[in-house]
Amino acid sequence: MADRACTTKNILCSDCRGGGQTGCVSELVSSSSWDILLHRIGDLLMCYILRHSSIFLPVKKNVFFQVTGLPLNVLLQKPIFTSTMGKHQQPQSTKQRCPMSGPICFDCLLLNSSKSVSVDSLISRHAVFYNRRTSYNIFHGNHILNKRKRPDALSLIRHIYGIKGCCAKFMRYDCNGSTTTNSNCSHLWLPKLMNKLISNSKRCQYKKLLLKHCSVNSKVGAKVAKNHSKAQYSFGGKSACNDQTYVQLEAYSTHQQVVSFVWAVLTRIIPELLLGNSYSKRALRINIWKFIKLRRFETFHLSDCIGELKVSHYSWISNIGLSDCFCSALMEKEIGLSNGSEEQKRQNLLHCWIGWMFSDIVIPLVQAYFYVTERESRRYEAFYYLNTVWRDLTSSALSSLNRQNFKILRGTSRKAIRRSCFSSRVRFVPKAKDMRPLVNLKAQSKDGLLNKCHLILKKVRDENPEMFGSSVFDYNNVHQNLCDFLSSVRSHLKEKLKIYVVVADVSKAFDCISHDMVLKVVDDVLKYDNYVLRKCTKVVCNRSKNAIYRFGSNVSISNGNDICDFSIQLSSTSGILVDQGKISSIQKKAIQRLISEQVKCNIFKIGQNFYSQQVGIAQGSKLSPNLCSLYYGHLENSVLSKFLYDGKINSDEDVSAPKSLLMRFIDDFIFISFSKEHALNFFNRVRRGFVYYNCYMNDSKYGFNFEVANSEHCCNRIYRGDDGFSFIPWSGLLINCETLEIQADYTRYLDILISSTITVKMHSSTKYLQSKLCHYMRPKCHPIFYDSMINSPGTVRLNIYQAFLLCAMKFHCYVRSMADANMSKLELLYIIKRTFRYMHSLIIRRIQDVELQYNVHPVLKLRRKETMWLGLSAYLRVLQKKQSRYKDLLALLREEIGTYGHLDHDSDGLRYAVDDLHSSMFWKFKF
């Protein structure tokens, strides 16, 4: 059967050609169940089933493995491949003769030959962001208004309305078929207006208008710096931030300033008649303001550009008509372009004009004079920095990098750099007080060998976690380590002994890594001379699309050339695994060479110059997180482990018992102990730094819950709520210093607007709002927040209540931004209740998944009606602050919560959760 099947695309053939089946498949197809089936149906029918059917066997919950049949990724990819090719294949252009045999008047040509523009067409914003162009020439390159092109009015009209070149010769005829100059036809006055627009665009004083409308905020920034000069604090004798840099970081132009500048330019280069009447000008400025204030990932369609604009607002469009001219019948007879009413054709002219104004004037204008970017703390918002301000910011950031670990390359040709090393672009993102460089490594991410090295490092990490020290890579690892620790110190917690917690953050963790040291550590980790990989495809179904394909390789380590059994690496996401039967091997020397190039040969292009990174590794690389964890894991194993578990620290205590817990999320340390001396020694040790590893802590990111001598220069990030409890933030978690209970860290919302954390799709429906709210709830449903082995019943319910508080605030921001959706109160109530049910179901699924995949046995003591009651209470508490908008919805919510009775009367945990003192930070949020 195998010989006959090898001529087909059956997945069994892949196993035969690949040199053996995976270990998982071998177990699945050789189990006793197959023997029973073979005994019942016989050889002939069994062969038929294996050859002509697709069989999927479960390997874990919601994950199946295909063992026979045509590979599912091949089956599903065929129609997608065809449709994709259809999009990219463009018909070959052929020269066509103009279908008109006689002269056509200008009005008929404009109405019938203009391109048809859909109001759903997208206005591309990607050119606005991260513009690297330094020229102040707005209309450059192939732009129709470029000075070098010397455009004429008729070519501009043809460009705006998409009139074919073969029809250009008819653009000089009036309605009577003549070319006289004493006519009032639009073929005379519209070109005059366009000529005026062209001349105005060349004479406009753009820079003067820019200084007039966008220079105010720099003064505001100076005032802010002056007010904060007294409040600045020092770390280690150095100023916390550079005054001049801080002023420039706050000197971005506001949305109103940018709109004011854009509108001033438009009114000076576009003739008043083309801008329409007073109502259209006001509506157009409002639409420009909507465009400028868009968040980072929001989209803008032509319908948003049009807004409330109408043809009647533009007299020059209203005057264009077919009337009874000599060629109206000819147009319909010869080329059949008169489909649609005359009003629809005028509407299309308006669409073409407004769309061109946004895409060819507004966007190039913003692109030429502003650098548009997000900020690290407000990554969904768009900030408009003047190019001059941004140039000063990047210059100061570059000088700082040159002093630390970057070196400019001089005397080396660009071709030699690109041929010998990796070259990547760098852009800067403003932080609170300085700039963070981000490296674009998309080109490297497509490198096949780099992806293989990444998979091998992950495999080594899974098989040898001790090499990575106390590293944790997600909340599942934190949950597992915390449960093991709490189970071992349960008696200490019952005695209510004092808990000592220390949090420390490595300063510039990626930038201070020694190249030679990290390469030495990698050499010690790679124990085999040869590594074998086998490719496996995962097919994941999605509601919005037919299928999404994620390709990954399962790694099996082999000592020599023998191919050992392959084990399937199961991820948490559901799907169908399809073995491709493709085996590849990579030598240890090749891995070492690639990692050495990644570490030592990083070349970055900043502006027009190339820089070499002398110390540290690039943060954007796939390998960087594992290399960083491996580097600091070696530090722990070499220095910290000997220090922490040395019997001389506490000779009276039994050091064999796990009285302390150390975890590290890449560069964020947390140390928990029941001994103050132990915690203090750890704090003093990491505070001194590790010279051999070039590793020092960030003085502004310490956290400790006990008194430390000579700690004036250390900023203690401990958080105390109105209820009197103390928490230490660590990697998105708030850890109770008295009970080690876990809550989500929402402190980052204290200094920002909640509306700046969302992305809204205009003209969206109720399904969109429901999907956004459910998507927000996903990270809040991790079992670590609801495990009764870690948290008390009150804290479990408080975590749910706080998640719904923030969800209600985001709900308000979405509804306010989607004012045109016209959603009824009953629809909103349905969405809210659907979010509650979704969260409760997801918590249960996550609890089950963690129990299956990790050596953790979480306990969930939560009823669905409690989740519903907490959600309704949270929405009532938040929306009461906006009761003028939600009067009817609040009445429905009160009616709904009444159906659950007074649950809080019989539950201390529910009363604890809804107490305002335990959620005091939420009442400081701005939404």
Q: What is the pLDDT of residue 496?
A: 79
Residue with tokens 């009150």: 794
Specify if 164 maps to a domain: yes
Instruction: Among 710, 744, 778, identify where a domain stops.
Output: 744
Which residue type occupies 903? L
* Mean local confidence (pLDDT), 48-56: 84
- Does residue 576 fall inside a structural domain? yes
Is residue 356 located within the same domain as residue 309?
Answer: yes
Predicted local confidence at residue 247, as pLDDT? 75
pLDDT tens digits, residue range 769-821?
999 999 999 999 999 999 999 999 999 999 999 999 999 999 999 999 887 77
Short-list 286, 259, 254, 265, CA closest to 382 = 254
Q: What is the pLDDT of residue 836?
A: 96
pLDDT band at 176 (very low <50, low <70, confident <90, very high): low
Considering the domain architecture, whether residues 289 and 429 belong to the same structural domain is answered as no
Checking if the pLDDT of 6 tops 80, the result is: no
- Max distance between CA atoms of the chain, in angstroms, equals 110
Please give the average per-residue pLDDT across 25-43, as a whole number.
77
CA distance 270 to 266: 6
Specify if 151 maps to a domain.
yes
Is 224 a domain residue?
A: no
The predicted structure's pLDDT at residue 651: 41
CATH number, domain of 725, equals: 3.30.70.2630
φ and ψ at residue 460, rounded to 5 degrees: -65, -40
**Range(s) of the domain holding residue 822:** 750-924
| Residue owning tokens 């990174």 | 613
**Residue 336, pLDDT above cutoff 80:** no
Return d(Cα 811, Cα 881) in angstroms, integer: 13
Q: Supply 785's token pair.
A: 């927040």
832 and 899 together in one domain: yes
Band the pLDDT of 165: cuts 50, 70, 90.
low
Q: CA-based Rg of the chain, rounded to a whole angstrom?
A: 33
- How much is the pLDDT for 96? 42
Rounded Cα gap, residues 226 and 424, in angstroms: 38
DSSP state of 705: S
Range of weakest confidence among 77-86, 401-410, 829-838: 77-86
Asked which of 694, 713, 744 is the last residue of a domain, the reply is 744
pLDDT grade, residue 894 (50/70/90)?
A: very high
The Cβ of residue 389 has, within 10 Å, a number of other Cβ atoms equal to 23
Whether 538 and 632 share a structural domain:
no
For position 829, what pLDDT does the model report?
Answer: 95
| pLDDT at site 168 | 55
pLDDT confidence band for 553 (50 / 70 / 90): low
Q: What is the pLDDT of residue 114?
A: 73
**What are the phi and psi torsion angles at 65 (to 5°)?**
-120, 130
Contacts of 748 (CB under 8 A, 6+ apart): 377
Structure tokens at 345: 């054709």
In a domain, 3, yes or no: no
Checking if the pLDDT of 629 tops 60, the result is: yes
| Whether residue 419 sits in one domain with residue 561 | yes
Whole-number pLDDT of residue 529: 85
Q: Of 559, 555, 557, 564, whose CA–CA distance to 536 is shortest?
A: 555
How many angstroms separate the CA atoms of 478 and 472, rounded? 6
Q: How far is 549 from 112, CA to CA, in rounded Å?
A: 45
CB atoms within 10 A of CB 251: 24
Cα end-to-end span (Å), the chain: 67
| Residue bearing tokens 């179901």 | 841
Question: What rounded mean pLDDT belongs to the chain?
Answer: 80
* Angle at CA of residue 332, ends 331 and 335, nearest 5°: 65
Residue 609: pLDDT above 90?
no
Tell me if 729 sits within 8 A of 703, measured CB to CB. yes
Same domain assignment for residues 497 and 540: no
pLDDT at 17 > cutoff 70: no
Residue 131 maps to which CATH number? 1.10.132.70
Alpha-carbon span 374 to 353, nearest angstrom: 31
Tally of domains within the chain = 4
Three-class SS state of 330: helix
- pTM beyond 0.75: yes
3-state secondary structure of 105: coil
CB 818 within 8 A of CB 760: yes
Q: Are 358 and 411 in a shared domain? A: no
- 208 CB burial (10 A radius; 0-12, 13-18, 19+): exposed
Q: Which two tokens stand for residue 186?
A: 């639009």
Chosen domain end from 563, 594, 614: 614
In this structure, the answer to whether residues 495 and 478 fall within a common structural domain is yes
Decide if 1 is inside a domain.
no
The pLDDT assigned to 385 comes to: 93
Buried (b) or exposed (e) across 325-360, using 16+ Cβ within 10 A? bebbebbeeeeebbeeeeeebbbbbbbbbbbbbbbb
Confidence of residue 449 (pLDDT cuts 50, 70, 90): confident
Clarify whether residues 344 and 444 are in a common domain: no
Residue written as token pair 């006001």: 282
What is the model's pLDDT at position 223? 45
Sign of the C-alpha dihedral, residues 781, 787, 791, 797?
Answer: positive
What angle is formed at CA 919 by the lines to CA 917 and CA 922, rounded to 5 degrees? 125
Question: According to the model, what pLDDT value does residue 735 have?
Answer: 95
3-class secondary-structure state, position 884: coil
What is the domain-level CATH number for residue 818? 1.10.357.90
Beta strands in 155-253 (DSSP E): 234-235, 238-239
Assess whether 720 and 831 both reside in one domain.
no
| pLDDT surpassing 70 at residue 572 | no
pLDDT recorded at residue 549: 53
Residue 251 sits in the same domain as residue 354: yes
What percentage of residues in the chain have a pLDDT greater than 90?
38
- pLDDT category of residue 322 using cuts at 50, 70 and 90: low
Answer whether residue 140 shows pLDDT above 90. no
Same domain, 424 and 542: yes
Give residue 232's pLDDT.
34
The Cα 634–Cα 624 span in angstroms is 15
Which helix (H) or strand (E) segment holds residue 275: the answer is helix 272-275
For the stretch 203-232, pLDDT in tens is: 899 999 999 998 754 444 444 444 444 333
Other beta carbons less than 10 A from residue 318's beta carbon: 14
Distance of CA 662 to the CA centre of its chain: 30
| Bridging pattern class, strands 742-744 and 733-736 | antiparallel
Q: How many CB atoms lie under 10 A from the CB of residue 454?
A: 19
Sign of the torsion formed by the C-alpha atoms of 771, 776, 778 and 783: negative
Residue 707, pLDDT > 60, answer yes
Please report whether residue 228 resides in a domain: no
Residue 150 CB partners (closer than 8 Å, separation 6+): none
Q: Which one has a higher pLDDT value, 447 or 753? A: 753
Is 389 within a domain?
no
Structure tokens at 144: 């129709």
Compute CA 599 distance to the chain's CA centroid, rounded to the nearest angstrom.
26
- 72-76, 429-433, 602-606, 838-842: which has the minimum mean pLDDT? 72-76
Tens-digit pLDDT profile for residues 646-684: 644 444 444 444 478 999 999 999 999 998 989 999 999
